[in-house]
Amino acid sequence: MHIEIDRVSKNFGRQTVLSDCSVAIPKGDVLSLLGPSGCGKTTLLRAIAGFNTPDRGSIRIGGQDVTDLPPNQRKVGFVFQHYALFPHLDVRRNVSYGLDIRGVGADQIRTRTDRMLDLVGMSTFAGRYPGQLSGGQQQRVAIARALVLEPEVLLLDEPFNALDAQLRGTMQIELRKLVKRLEMTAIFVTHDQHEALTLSDTLAVMNGGRIEQSGSPLALYDKPQTGFVAGFIGTANMVNRTVEDGVIHIGAVRLSATGSKARAVIRPENIEITPGAASDDWRGKVTFVRPLGPIVEYQLEAGEAAPVTVIALRRAGDDLLLPGDDVTLSVRDPAACTVLAVGDQA
Amino acid sequence: MTDMTGSDSGGAPRARTRGDPGPIGGSLMSAVPALAFLGALFVVPLGFLLSFAFLTIERGDIVSGLPTLRHFFETLTDDLFWIVAWRSFWVGVVSTILCVVFAYPVAWVYSELKGAWRPIVLVLVVAPLLTSAVVRTYAWIVILGGRYGLINSLLIDLGLIGRPLRILNTDIAVIIGMVQIHLPFMILPLISVLDGRDRAREEASLALGASRIVTFFRVTLPLSVPGIAAGASLVFALSYTNFIIPQLLGGGNYTTLALQVYEFIIVILDWTEGAVRATLLLLSCFAIVLLINKLGAWYTRWLEAGR
């Protein structure tokens, strides 16, 4: 089912946690709410689940306005950050809980629970209590418990936080495949951009209770609309320049800009460095070299507010630059740079 | 002996020689003053008292030198003993159940409160413990008592009843007293389990389609069983052995096992009979509290499973 979140605002006391959040998710898509802690992403997810009610705005699921509906009438699956399994019920009864509540017949409970346990690979653990399971197993049970009711919407609150790094990567891919296979619309909350890029069709970057920008992961990477989005997704070199006659100069490249000052967002792979310092160009000095195998990441001191990061492809046998080397920087593709007006916001 | 400390049980002696007191050794040392105090002033006198049950004592002198089970046999074949024991048990059970029923909402409200209200509720819960149980029991006489008691005079003045209700000197008065006096011992353990609970589990239940009431009975209540078991052990043991409340609120003819112990030893001065009942009271109390805890542990076996 498609989900529309329309100008949702929420205050806790005097503190604004959500202000005018709007985003739409087409049926079958996966949306990530990405942002630093305290940005309101969990509050928004909980509002969609019905655990809190927005002060203003509306939430529609499959066209139905559910803004004031209690959580038990929303037909939405929810996976909690720490899974919130029922410790007094074994794995089987955790998974069958939702069916039990609905008064589904015993035969059907058995077959549907079995199928779900099988799907998440937990059949052999059906008799265990949650306290006897590892983090990854608990997460599988939590997902099975939410999915057994065949919800058309699945909400996940930082579901991979409690897992170690290796398992996290595997589970992210598994979850994405599962959600796609079951044709569910899913929204999940994360503060980890790699997780968001792995899982989602659409990203919504949140900051200070607002959705700063939403779109496909690559659209946000290529065309960030704010400095926050640029800095939050991927690595961004922020190059500040004074505007002269409607343009800013970065080395030999001219980019059109408005206002008196402007900031160009240049991704690390969009900068080319050549050894030696040419007279008039954008110059710098290598301060750190990070050989990562297929690519090399250089940190440069280039007279900007922050060190400039450059990523270069590497072929076997290439000579690397060394710290202390003087280099000349140039923008590869001016069209791939984003120019932001420097206003009051950071 | 030397063999035992030497080679066989390697762990403990080796640990001790390295100056590591071990998990038990260290705490035992610091408990010595308390244990000595309890031993000298509680265990030894209790042992004396219980030993009287096996002796025949007349006018303060031990009559026959040989220990005997005769007094136990006589008591246990006495119908009156079983009537009194059954009443003690029944009063304890009913008080415990009512305490759970009344304490749960209080603990629940506490767990839902925020900020300044919490210490206020906590003080209100604990405040009765700051006055003597005897004084509070007397207060109940004033409230429940005959024609001029608070309840009766109010009901009569309102014209709701013509003649005063007989509450004092009945089972009801005893139960009311027990519940009020022992309520804090149920509320406090319940507060500790309800306040520390993970609300996400209740939200998970709601998200799975359960109503708030179903969620309460299927998630919140089962998960608070450890607190209920702890509170029930305390309240049952206290109610089962309390002799002040049945004496003052039950009237002169209301007898429980604990009250009989008091009467035999203090009033009738038949120490043997008193000691027999004290022994039986103590043993049955231990047995029932143990049963409550076994039931609680069986019900909460998932807690063990996690370890």
Expressed as residue numbers, the domain containing B159 is 70-306
This model of the complex carries an ipTM of 0.83
| Chain B: residues touching A (Cβ < 8 Å) | 198, 200-201, 203-211, 214, 218-219, 222-223, 300, 302-303, 305-307
| Residue B11's pLDDT band (cuts 50, 70, 90) | very low
Phi, psi of B58 (to 5 degrees): -130, 130
Task: Kindly state whether residue B216 falls inside one of the protein's structural domains.
Answer: yes
Task: Kindly state whether residue B64 falls inside one of the protein's structural domains.
Answer: no
**A218, A49 contact by CB (below 8 A):** no
| Residue B25's pLDDT band (cuts 50, 70, 90) | low
**Strands, E assignment, chain B:** 57-58, 61-62
Task: Kindly state whether residue B100 falls inside one of the protein's structural domains.
Answer: yes
Task: Kindly state whether residue B48 falls inside one of the protein's structural domains.
Answer: no
CATH number at residue B278: 1.10.3720.10
In the DSSP assignment, the letter for residue A335 is G
More confident residue, B150 or B87: B87
Of A79-93, B20-34, B39-53, B127-141, the one with minimum mean pLDDT is B20-34
**A209, A40 contact by CB (below 8 A):** yes
**A306, A270 contact by CB (below 8 A):** no
pLDDT tens, per residue, chain A with 346 residues:
789 999 999 999 888 999 999 999 999 999 999 999 889 999 999 999 999 999 999 999 998 999 999 999 988 999 999 999 999 999 999 999 999 999 899 999 999 999 999 988 899 999 999 999 998 899 999 999 999 998 989 999 998 887 788 888 888 888 888 889 888 999 999 988 888 888 899 999 999 999 999 999 999 999 999 989 998 888 899 998 888 888 888 888 888 888 888 899 999 999 988 888 776 678 889 999 998 888 999 999 988 888 999 999 888 877 888 898 889 898 999 888 999 888 644 4
| Residue B24's pLDDT band (cuts 50, 70, 90) | low
| Residue B150's pLDDT band (cuts 50, 70, 90) | confident
Whether the CB of A77 is below 8 Å from some CB of chain B: the reply is yes
Task: Kindly state whether residue B34 falls inside one of the protein's structural domains.
Answer: no
Whether the CB of A87 is below 8 Å from some CB of chain B: the reply is yes
Task: Kindly state whether residue B85 falls inside one of the protein's structural domains.
Answer: yes
d(CA A83, CA A51): 16
For residue B124, is pLDDT > 90? yes
Nearest to A102 among B209, B302, B303 (CB): B209
Provide, as residue numbers in chain B, all residues whose Cβ is less than 8 Å from the Cβ of A72.
206-211
The reported pLDDT for the residue numbered A112 is 94
d(CA B274, CA B280): 10
For residue B23, is pLDDT > 70? no
Domain count for chain B: 1
Give B156-176 pLDDT, tens digit per residue: 888 888 788 888 888 899 999
Kindly list the distances between the CA atom of residue A284 and the CA atoms of A253, A265, B47, B98, B115, in Å, as whole numbers in the listed order.
Answer: 16, 18, 90, 80, 57
Measured between CA atoms, the residue of chain A closest to residue B206 is A72
Residue among B34, B196, B44 nearest B111 (CA): B196
Kindly list the distances between the CA atom of residue B40 and the CA atoms of B13, B25, B37, B265, B282, in Å, as whole numbers in the listed order.
Answer: 30, 22, 5, 21, 19
Whether the CB of A149 is below 8 Å from some CB of chain B: the reply is yes
Task: Kindly state whether residue B42 falls inside one of the protein's structural domains.
Answer: no
Task: Kindly state whether residue B273 falls inside one of the protein's structural domains.
Answer: yes
Those residues with Cβ within 8 angstroms of residue A97's Cβ, 6 or more apart along the chain or in another chain: A86, A89, A145, B205, B208, B210, B218
CA A218 to centroid of chain Cα atoms: 12
The reported pLDDT for the residue numbered A156 is 94
| Average pLDDT of the segment spanning B64-90 | 89
The reported pLDDT for the residue numbered B152 is 84
| Average pLDDT of the segment spanning B289-304 | 90
**B145, B168 contact by CB (below 8 A):** yes
Strands of A30-34's sheet in order across: A76-79, A153-157, A185-190, A30-34, A202-207, A210-215
